Amino acid sequence: MKLSEKLMVEPGKEIRLDQRDPDGTGHIKSKKAAYVEMEKNLSGLGELQSVLYAENKRSVLIVLQGMDAGGKDGTIKHVMGPLNPQSCKVCSFKAPTDEELSHDFLWRIHQRIPKTGQIVIFNRSHYEDILIARVHHLVDKKVWSKRYRQINDFEKLLTENNTHILKFFLHISKGEQLKRLRERIDEPAKNWKINPKDFEERKYWADYVRVYEDALSRCSTSYAPWFVIPANKKWFRNYAVSQIIAEALDALKMKYPKPDVDISKLRKLT
């Protein structure tokens, strides 16, 4: 069974995060082994990105979600960092502006979806408008309850227009989160990441788990699946995400376009 099949949230099935081990590493038993496999994946991803860009027929949207300190920035750095920035970019979503609040919640998202030939990574995403809205009671149930269907419809629209969607939930334990937050205090190079709000949000851990389980269960579809990535061990997290992306892009069977010129005539001129 492929890693993607093992980690995917099966469409139509409910998921319990306490039944997914955040320390899991599957068949990869060591950091060294993960690095070896990951280097192969990154090499392959570089070539696949080139074909995607040259073919210019489809695009790829990668969604990263997780608890605070879950490793979204680290995943982007180690997995997507080596890709060509000409056709790969990252979009981060913070609290919506007044202008964004004057539109429907997907308005600002639609403006940042990838163009053909492009890969876009969402560091947090449209799912925040369910997660935070529910945990902090920002909108009524009659509002947030509709958003699952609206998100599924939106993602279906994208896939029907040749955007391939991969969604990753970076699954860490509450203890691992505390360890990482403490590192931000103890290590000067990480002080800039300190946000007192992250510590305050820990008291809502159980609430976030519950709403994440709902989002993962209700919005993992055949056309836009969710993958729960064990993320306590950063080296496995990076390997797993790179492996699933490489598998997905390879399955697209992309090809370089044929040249518009007669190559044989050009050879005669050299």
Residue 41: inside a domain: yes
Q: What are phi and psi of 120, to 5 degrees?
A: -125, 135
Q: How confident is the model at residue 260 (pLDDT cuts 50, 70, 90)?
A: confident
Q: Distance between alpha carbon 244 and the CA centroid of its chain, in Å?
A: 11
Average pLDDT across the chain, whole number: 95
What's the total number of domains in the chain?
1
Domain of 8 in residue numbering reads as 3-252
Q: Is the pLDDT of residue 259 over 90?
A: no
Indicate whether 220 belongs to any domain.
yes
Q: Is residue 79 part of a domain?
A: yes
Query: In percent, how much of the chain has pLDDT > 90?
Result: 90
* Per-residue pLDDT tens over the stretch 168-209: 999 999 999 999 999 999 999 999 989 898 999 999 999 999
Q: What is the mean pLDDT of residues 77-83?
A: 93
- Are the C-beta atoms of residues 77 and 17 closer than 8 Å to each other? no
The percentage of residues in the chain with a pLDDT greater than 70, rounded to a whole number, is 100
Name the residue among 232, 248, 189 with its Cα closest to residue 59: 248
- 240 falls within a domain: yes
Residue 268 lies in a domain: no
- At residue 1 the predicted structure's pLDDT band, cuts being 50, 70 and 90, is confident
Residue 46 has pLDDT above 90, yes or no: yes
The DSSP annotation for 84-104 comes to: -TTSEEEEE--SPPHHHHTS-
End-to-end CA gap in the chain? 50
Question: Residue 169: inside a domain, yes or no?
Answer: yes
**Mean pLDDT value of segment 130-152:** 97
pLDDT of residue 262 exceeding 80, the answer is: no
For residue 266, tell me if it sits in a domain: no
CATH of the domain at 143: 3.40.50.300
